[in-house]
C-alpha cells in the first residue's frame, strides 16, 4: 500500500514557488512596481518571499506603508526596525488633508474613516510615486467575495475595480500589459490560507510584531469587542477604565478598530494550536467589515486594496 | 504541474447550479473542515428565496457564494477559487467554473491548470448538451482525469441501469476526445452519499467515494511529456559578478552539469549552480522556482526558453497551427496584429487563417471565418519573429499562449499550439550567381508586383489589360496574373471559402514573387477581399517591390456592370460566397494607390503606369 500522506512542508513549498514566480513576473513586467507593506503577518510573509525571489540580488522595488496614524505604536517601531535591518526603500503614504481636518475613527465612523485614511491615502500614494503595480498580501480565503479575485487584478483609471474588465488567468501566464491609466494589483498569496501563513512563519522563523502573541495588555470592552488602549488619544467613556487582560491580535490594523482575543498563546506553536481548534474566519475580528456580507466588495470597487 | 506526490491538486468542477454543483462543493468543503465556523453559521441561518432547507441546517450551496451582483441574479458568472484540505494532508485548489451556456471561456480558464475535473451530471435529467461541452473543453485544455459525478442518485432510486447507461454515453465522448482517465461515481450531494463517506444505498457500486478518490489520485504516467523546460523570467545580477537566470521549471528536471540549449538561439551551456535563497540545490524539478547559473556567458534575456539539449528541443518557428478559445466580445479580426504572450515572452502575431470552428457540443468542425466570444477554433498564426514553442500536449506552459489586444490591452484569446510548422527551417535556399541585380541590368528595369484589389466587376482586369498594353509599348516586360485565369489552372483545386481565398492569394503572391524576381512587372488582378491575406502577400516582398492598388468602384456600379453575371447569380441566391454580397470586402487601409473604377480609363492607366515606373 502506497503511503498517501502529504507532508505540510510540501504544500508550503508549492505555495512558496508560486508566490516567487508571481514576484519575478511582476518585477520584470512592470515599469515601477511597489510592495505594499502593512506590517502584519501577511506582509511579513510577503516581504520574506520577496527577498527570496530575487536573492542574491537586493529587492528590486520599494516598499510602501499606508499609515493611517492610528496604528499600534509597536507596529510603527517594528516597521522602522525592519526597514533599517533589511535596507528597504520605505515610502510612507498618509492622507495629510484628512489628518489636518481631524478625521479619526471616533469622529467620522469606521467606514468614512477607512475610506479617507486607507483607500484615499493608498490611491494618492500610488499616484504620487507613479507606481503601475502594487503587490499586496490579500488571500482568497479571507472572505467569500475574494474567491473570484485574480492574482493579477486590474484597476481602471482612478483605481476603479471593474469586475467585467478582470482578465481571465490561464496557466502561469499573466497578461501584464496596461493601457493608458490602468494599473495592477498583484496578490502572490492568493492561494494561501491563514493557517499556511502561520505555518510558514513558523517554518521560516519570520519576525512578526509581538502583538500577535498573548500578553497582559490594557483593554476596554465595547459591544462585546476588546479594544486595546494603545495611547492617550483613546477617548474613554465616563466611568470606563482600561483593565489588563491577557490578549493577542489575530489581525493588526488601526488599534481602535482591531478586536483582541483573550488568549494565553505566547508562542507560535500555541498560537497555531489555538487557531486550529477555534476555526473562526479571520475577518470576524475586524470591525470595518461588519456592515453586511458584501461590504468588502463595495470598498474594493472604490479602490480599497 | 502535478508531480507524483501532488501536494496541491488542481481540481476543476463543472456543471450547473441545477446539477447540484454548489451543494456538492459546499458539502466537500464543510465536511473536510475547510470552512470557518462563522461561515457555516451563516449557511445555517441565511435562506435564499425558494429554499426548502429548514433554517438551522446547513444550506451547502450558500458556502460557495460569490459577488454581490451574482447573488442578486442568482447565477455564478466567474471562476471562483477555493481551497480544501484532505485528511491525508493534500491541498485541493478548486477552480469552480460556472455552468452557464455562454461561459465556455470561464470553463477554459478553470480547466487550464486542472489535474482532475469533476463533471457533474444530474442523474434524473441525463446527459445534456452542456455535459459534452464541459468534457470537450476539459479535454481541449489538457485535463487528464475526469470524474463523472452522477448526482441526485436518490431521485432515481439509486438505479444501476440508468447510471450505467449515462456513464457509457459520456465515456464514448471522452474516448473520442482522448481523455486518458475517466471514472464515474454515483452520488447524492444533497443526501451526502459517496461524497465524503460511502453510501449504503448503492451496494452495486464498489469504487471509492469522491473524497477517497481525490485523496488517492496520482497523475498517470506520461511518457510524451516535454523534457526540461525553463522560461527565463528575470535576469538576476548581484555583487561578485553574479549573473543568474530566475524562473520556474515548467517541465522535466535539471541538475548542475546538465547541458541546456537556449532554444531561441541554439547556443548551449552547462548548468553550473541551482541557486535559491537558502542554499544551492542538487536538482530542481517541475514546479520549483529557482535561479540557474551557467558555466560561461551566453546571451540570455527575459522570455528566452532554456531547454534540455537533444532531439526534443523546441525549435524556433514563426508559423503555428493552434486552437483558440476566443474570450473577447470583439470577434477575432482576420489579419489583425495581436501580442502573443507565452510565459514571459511577448511577440506581435497575426492570425493568418481560420481553419474551422469546433462545435464544442457535437464535436463537429465547420468552416468559419470569424471566431466570436466563447467560440473554439483551429487557426494558423504567424509571429513576427521565430519563437520556440512546444505542442500543448507536451507542455501546457510552453504550448499555451494568450493573444492580447494591442490597444485595449485586453486578453482576447487563449491559444493552444497543436502543430509547429518548422518546414521553412529544413530548407536552405541556394544562392545563384545570376541574381536579381544581374537580371535588372539585362531587362533595363526592376521587377515588381502590382496588386490590384477590389470588388468583382470593379474594373481590375480591364485596367490591368490596358496598363500592360501601355507598358509593353514602352519596352517594359510585363505579365498579368488574373484571378479567373489562375483558377483554371494552378488554383483549380480551390473554392471560394475564406480559407481557400487565403490559399489562392498565397499562391498568386508566390508566383508573382518568382516572376518579379525574374525581372517582370507583374500585374495581379484578384478580388483578394481580406486584409490579412493581402498583408501576408506584401510580407513576401522588399519595400517598394509590392504595390497595393485599390480599385475603388461603388458596389452598385459593379452590380450593374456585372461582366461575368456573378451579381445576378448572387441575387438569385446561387452564390453564397460572393464578395460584396455573402462575404465582406475589407477595404485597404493604406493602399499605395487608389484608382477610381468609374473614371476615364486612359487617365487611370496613365496614373498607374507612372506609379509603376516610379515617376
Tell me the CATH number of domain B229-308, given options 3.30.2130.10, 1.10.1740.10, 3.40.640.10, 2.40.30.10: 2.40.30.10
Residues of B with Cβ-Cβ distance to A191 under 8 angstroms? 8, 81, 83, 93
Lowest mean pLDDT among A77-91, A177-191, A254-268: A254-268
Mean pLDDT to the nearest integer, B529-545: 86
> What are the residue boundaries of the structural domains of chain B, listed by start?
8-216, 229-308, 316-425, 436-612
State whether residue A182 is helix, strand or coil.
coil
For residue B68, what pLDDT is reported? 44
Domain topology for A8-198+294-302: Rossmann fold (3.40.50)
For residue A289, what pLDDT is reported? 44
What does the pLDDT look like over B329-349, one tens digit per residue?
889 876 778 999 998 999 999
Residue B277 contacts A where some CB pair is shorter than 8 Å: yes
Residue B102 contacts A where some CB pair is shorter than 8 Å: no
Residue A243 contacts B where some CB pair is shorter than 8 Å: no
Q: Per the CB < 8 Å rule, is B89 touching A8?
A: yes
Quote the CA–CA distance of B228 and B307 in Å, as a whole number. 5
Q: Per the CB < 8 Å rule, is A279 touching B404?
A: no
* A292, pLDDT greater than 50: no
- The secondary structure of A22-87 as a DSSP string is HHHHHHHH-SSEEEE--SSHHHHHHHHHHHHHHTTSPPSS-EEEE--S-B-HHHHHHHHHHHHHHT
What is the pLDDT confidence band of residue B313, given thresholds at 50, 70 and 90?
A: confident
Mean pLDDT to the nearest integer, B407-421: 92
Tell me the CATH number of domain B316-425, given options 3.40.50.10580, 2.40.30.10, 3.40.190.10, 3.10.20.30: 2.40.30.10
User: Which residue among A4, A15, A25 places its CB closest to the CB of B344?
Assistant: A25
Residue A81 contacts B where some CB pair is shorter than 8 Å: no
Whole-angstrom Cα Rg for chain A: 19
- Among A50, A176, A21, CA closest to B232: A21
User: Is residue B528 flagged as an active site residue?
Assistant: yes
What ipTM was assigned to the predicted interfaces of this complex? 0.89
What is the pLDDT confidence band of residue A1, given thresholds at 50, 70 and 90?
A: very low
* B12, pLDDT greater than 80: yes
Cβ–Cβ under 8 Å, residues B133 and B103? no
> What are the residue boundaries of the structural domains of chain A, listed by start?
8-198+294-302, 208-287
For residue B540, what pLDDT is reported? 85
Q: Per the CB < 8 Å rule, is A11 touching B7?
A: yes
Residue B45 contacts A where some CB pair is shorter than 8 Å: no
For residue A97, what pLDDT is reported? 87
Q: Look up residue A146 and give its three cell numbers.
A: 475574494
- Among B279, B263, B277, B266, CA closest to B228: B263
What does the pLDDT look like over B135-159, one tens digit per residue?
999 999 999 999 999 999 999 999 9
Averaged pLDDT of chain B:
88
Quote the CA–CA distance of B183 and B181 in Å, as a whole number. 7
Q: Per the CB < 8 Å rule, is A177 touching B71?
A: no
What is the pLDDT confidence band of residue A294, given thresholds at 50, 70 and 90?
A: very low
**Cα B388 vs. chain centroid, distance in angstroms?**
16
**Cα A179 vs. chain centroid, distance in angstroms?**
27
Averaged pLDDT of chain A:
87
Query: Do the domains B8-216 and B316-425 sit in the same CATH topology, yes or no?
Result: no
Between B340 and A305, where is the model more confident? B340
For residue B101, what pLDDT is reported? 59
What is the pLDDT confidence band of residue A180, given thresholds at 50, 70 and 90?
A: confident
Q: Which residue of A has its CA nearest to B97?
A: A148
Mean pLDDT to the nearest integer, A146-156: 89
Residues of B with Cβ-Cβ distance to A58 under 8 angstroms? 238
Domain topology for B8-216: Rossmann fold (3.40.50)
* B429, pLDDT greater than 80: no
Residues of B with Cβ-Cβ distance to A52 under 8 angstroms? 276-277
Q: Per the CB < 8 Å rule, is B36 touching A281?
A: yes
Cβ–Cβ under 8 Å, residues B467 and B609? yes
What is the pLDDT confidence band of residue B67, given thresholds at 50, 70 and 90?
A: very low
For residue B69, what pLDDT is reported? 46
CATH architecture of B436-612: 3-Layer(aba) Sandwich (3.40)
Q: Per the CB < 8 Å rule, is B109 touching A168?
A: yes
DSSP 8-state code for residue B448? E
Between A293 and B350, where is the model more confident? B350
What is the pLDDT confidence band of residue B1, given thresholds at 50, 70 and 90?
A: very low
The whole-model pTM stands at 0.79
List the 167-226 stretch of A: residues with Cβ below 8 A of B.
167-173, 175, 177-179, 182, 190-191, 193
Lowest mean pLDDT among A268-282, B180-194, B350-364, B451-465: A268-282
What does the pLDDT look like over B385-405, one tens digit per residue?
899 999 999 999 999 999 999
Q: Which residue of A has its CA nearest to B342?
A: A173
For residue B77, what pLDDT is reported? 61
A270-290 b/e with 16+ CB inside 10 Å = b?
Answer: ebbebbeeeeebbbbbbbbbe
What does the pLDDT look like over B465-483, one tens digit per residue?
999 999 998 889 999 999 8
User: Which residue among A7, A179, A278 places its CB closest to the CB of B89?
Assistant: A7
Q: Quick one: CA torsion of A103, A106, A111, A113, rounded to 10 degrees?
A: 20
Mean pLDDT to the nearest integer, B90-96: 93
Half-sphere exposure of B144 (CA within 13 A, CB side): 17
Amino acid at each position: 500500500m502506497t503511503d498517501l500522506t502529504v507532508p505540510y512542508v510540501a504544500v508550503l513549498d508549492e505555495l512558496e514557488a508560486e508566490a516567487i514566480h508571481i514576484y519575478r513576473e511582476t518585477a520584470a513586467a512592470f515599469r515601477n512596481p511597489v510592495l505594499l507593506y502593512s506590517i502584519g503577518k501577511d506582509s511579513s510573509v510577503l516581504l520574506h518571499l520577496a527577498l527570496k525571489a530575487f536573492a542574491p540580488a537586493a529587492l528590486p522595488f520599494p516598499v510602501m506603508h499606508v499609515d493611517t496614524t492610528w496604528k499600534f505604536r509597536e507596529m510603527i517601531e517594528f516597521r522602522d526596525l525592519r526597514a533599517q535591518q533589511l535596507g528597504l526603500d520605505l515610502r510612507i503614504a498618509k492622507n495629510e488633508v484628512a489628518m489636518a481636518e481631524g478625521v479619526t475613527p471616533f469622529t467620522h465612523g469606521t467606514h468614512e474613516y477607512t475610506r479617507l485614511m486607507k483607500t484615499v491615502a493608498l490611491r494618492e500614494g500610488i499616484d504620487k510615486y507613479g507606481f503601475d503595480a502594487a503587490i499586496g498580501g490579500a488571500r482568497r480565503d479571507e472572505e467569500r467575495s475574494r474567491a473570484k479575485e485574480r492574482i493579477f487584478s486590474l484597476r481602471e483609471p482612478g483605481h476603479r475595480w471593474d469586475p467585467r474588465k478582470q482578465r481571465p488567468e490561464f496557466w502561469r501566464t499573466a497578461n501584464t500589459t496596461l493601457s493608458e491609466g490602468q494599473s495592477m494589483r498583484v496578490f502572490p498569496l492568493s492561494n494561501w490560507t491563514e493557517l499556511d501563513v502561520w505555518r510558514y512563519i513558523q517554518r521560516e522563523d519570520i519576525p512578526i510584531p509581538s502583538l500577535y502573541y498573548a500578553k497582559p495588555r490594557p483593554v476596554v470592552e465595547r459591544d462585546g469587542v476588546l479594544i486595546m488602549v494603545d495611547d492617550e488619544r483613546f477617548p474613554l467613556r465616563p466611568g470606563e477604565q482600561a483593565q489588563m487582560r491577557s490578549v493577542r491580535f489575530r489581525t493588526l490594523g488601526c488599534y481602535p478598530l482591531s478586536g483582541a482575543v483573550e488568549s494565553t498563546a505566547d508562542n507560535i506553536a500555541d498560537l497555531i494550536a489555538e487557531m486550529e481548534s477555534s476555526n473562526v474566519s479571520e475577518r470576524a475580528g475586524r470591525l470595518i467589515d461588519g456592515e453586511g456580507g458584501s461590504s468588502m466588495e463595495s470598498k474594493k470597487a472604490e479602490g480599497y486594496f | 504541474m502535478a508531480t507524483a506526490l501532488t501536494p496541491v491538486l488542481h481540481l476543476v468542477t463543472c456543471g450547473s447550479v441545477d446539477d447540484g454543483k454548489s451543494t456538492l462543493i459546499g458539502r466537500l468543503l464543510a465536511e473536510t473542515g475547510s470552512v470557518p465556523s462563522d461561515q457555516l453559521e451563516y449557511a445555517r441561518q441565511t435562506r435564499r428565496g425558494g429554499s426548502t432547507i429548514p433554517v438551522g441546517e446547513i444550506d451547502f450551496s450558500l458556502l460557495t457564494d460569490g459577488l454581490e451582483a451574482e447573488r442578486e441574479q442568482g447565477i455564478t458568472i466567474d471562476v471562483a477559487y477555493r481551497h480544501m484540505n484532505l485528511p491525508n494532508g493534500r491541498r485541493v485548489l478548486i477552480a469552480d467554473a460556472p455552468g452557464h451556456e455562454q461561459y465556455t471561456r470561464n470553463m477554459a480558464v478553470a480547466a487550464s491548470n486542472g489535474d482532475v475535473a469533476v463533471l457533474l451530471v444530474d442523474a434524473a435529467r441525463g446527459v445534456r448538451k452542456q455535459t459534452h461541452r464541459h468534457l470537450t473543453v476539459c479535454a481541449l485544455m489538457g485535463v487528464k482525469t475526469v470524474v463523472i459525478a452522477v448526482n441526485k442518485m436518490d431521485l432515481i432510486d439509486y438505479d444501476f441501469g440508468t447510471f450505467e447507461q449515462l456513464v457509457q454515453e459520456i465515456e464514448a465522448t471522452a474516448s473520442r476526445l482522448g481523455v486518458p482517465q475517466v471514472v464515474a461515481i454515483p452520488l447524492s450531494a444533497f443526501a451526502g452519499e459517496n461524497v465524503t463517506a460511502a453510501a449504503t444505498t448503492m451496494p452495486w457500486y464498489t469504487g471509492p467515494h469522491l473524497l477517497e478518490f481525490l485523496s488517492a489520485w496520482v497523475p498517470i504516467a506520461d511518457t510524451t511529456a516535454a523534457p526540461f523546460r525553463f522560461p527565463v523570467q528575470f535576469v538576476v545580477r548581484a555583487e561578485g559578478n553574479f549573473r543568474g537566470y530566475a524562473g520556474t521549471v515548467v517541465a522535466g528536471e535539471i541538475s548542475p552539469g546538465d547541458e541546456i540549449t537556449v532554444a531561441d538561439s541554439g547556443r548551449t551551456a552547462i548548468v553550473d549552480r541551482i541557486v535559491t535563497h537558502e542554499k544551492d540545490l542538487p536538482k530542481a524539478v517541475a514546479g520549483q522556482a529557482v535561479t540557474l547559473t551557467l558555466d560561461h556567458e551566453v546571451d540570455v534575456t527575459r522570455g528566452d526558453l532554456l531547454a534540455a539539449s537533444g532531439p526534443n528541443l523546441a525549435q524556433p518557428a514563426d508559423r503555428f497551427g493552434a486552437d483558440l478559445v476566443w474570450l473577447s466580445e470583439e470577434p477575432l479580426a482576420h489579419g489583425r496584429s495581436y501580442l502573443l504572450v507565452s510565459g514571459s515572452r511577448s511577440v506581435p502575431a497575426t492570425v493568418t487563417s481560420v481553419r474551422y470552428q469546433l462545435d464544442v457540443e457535437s464535436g463537429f468542425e465547420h468552416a468559419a471565418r470569424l471566431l466570436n466570444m466563447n467560440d473554439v477554433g483551429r487557426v494558423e498564426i504567424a509571429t513576427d519573429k521565430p519563437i520556440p514553442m512546444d505542442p500543448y500536449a507536451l507542455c501546457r506552459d510552453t504550448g499555451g499562449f494568450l493573444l492580447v489586444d494591442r490597444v485595449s490591452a485586453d486578453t482576447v484569446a487563449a491559444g493552444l499550439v497543436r502543430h509547429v510548422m518548422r518546414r521553412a527551417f529544413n530548407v536552405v535556399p541556394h544562392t545563384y550567381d545570376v541574381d536579381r541585380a544581374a537580371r535588372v541590368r539585362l531587362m533595363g528595369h526592376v521587377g515588381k508586383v502590382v496588386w490590384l484589389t477590389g470588388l468583382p466587376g470593379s474594373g481590375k482586369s480591364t485596367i490591368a489589360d490596358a496598363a500592360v498594353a501601355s507598358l509593353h509599348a514602352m519596352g517594359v516586360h510585363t505579365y498579368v496574373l488574373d484571378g479567373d485565369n489562375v483558377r483554371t489552372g494552378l488554383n483549380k483545386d480551390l473554392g471560394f471559402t475564406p480559407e481557400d481565398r487565403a490559399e489562392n492569394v498565397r499562391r498568386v503572391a508566390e508566383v508573382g514573387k518568382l516572376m518579379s524576381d525574374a525581372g517582370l512587372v507583374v500585374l495581379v488582378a484578384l478580388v483578394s477581399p481580406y486584409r490579412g491575406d493581402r498583408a501576408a502577400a506584401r510580407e513576401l516582398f522588399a519595400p517598394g517591390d509590392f504595390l497595393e492598388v485599390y480599385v475603388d468602384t461603388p458596389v452598385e456600379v459593379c452590380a450593374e456592370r456585372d461582366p461575368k453575371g456573378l451579381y445576378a447569380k448572387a441575387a438569385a441566391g446561387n452564390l453564397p460566397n460572393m464578395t460584396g454580397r455573402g462575404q465582406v470586402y475589407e477595404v485597404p487601409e493604406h493602399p499605395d494607390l487608389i484608382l477610381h473604377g468609374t473614371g476615364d480609363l486612359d487617365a487611370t492607366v496613365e496614373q498607374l503606369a507612372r506609379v509603376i515606373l516610379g515617376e
